[in-house]
Amino acid sequence: MPRKDKIRRLWLNVKWKIKHNPSRDTVVRRLIESIESGSYDLPKTYKVAIGWRNREDAPMKWGEWKTEMENSAASSPGWDSAVLSYLGGF
């Protein structure tokens, strides 16, 4: 019997610290491009963290952008599209 995909809520938060202080639109565009390329690579000057949780009352799980994106995309087929949707709201 095929596995039924679960649909659950996802809370996301992305924070960044970049020395040369690019615009928010530039940073979001770079994040989106990193997802679309499938590499999740960002410029070396970008320090980006992503936090997420599956339950409203759970604490956010935080990690470095590339590591969290790779791990979460491997375990959840809808992860990339959920993050793209979140970033599209900026």
Residue 75 belongs to domain spanning: 11-88
82 burial (CB, 10 Å; 0-12 / 13-18 / 19+) is middle
- Domain annotation covers residue 1: no
| DSSP characters over 50-70 | EEEESSTTSPPEEEEHHHHHH
Rg (CA), the chain: 14
Dump strand ranges (E) for the chain.
11-18, 46-53, 61-64
With H, G, I as helix, E, B as strand and everything else as coil, classify residue 85: helix
For the chain, how many structural domains are there in total? 1
- Domain annotation covers residue 4: no
Residue 71 has pLDDT above 90, yes or no: yes
pLDDT of residue 8: 72
- Domain annotation covers residue 53: yes
Residue pLDDT, tens place only, 21-50: 999 999 999 999 999 999 999 999 999 999
pTM of the model: 0.86
- Mean pLDDT, the chain, as a whole number? 91
- Domain annotation covers residue 2: no
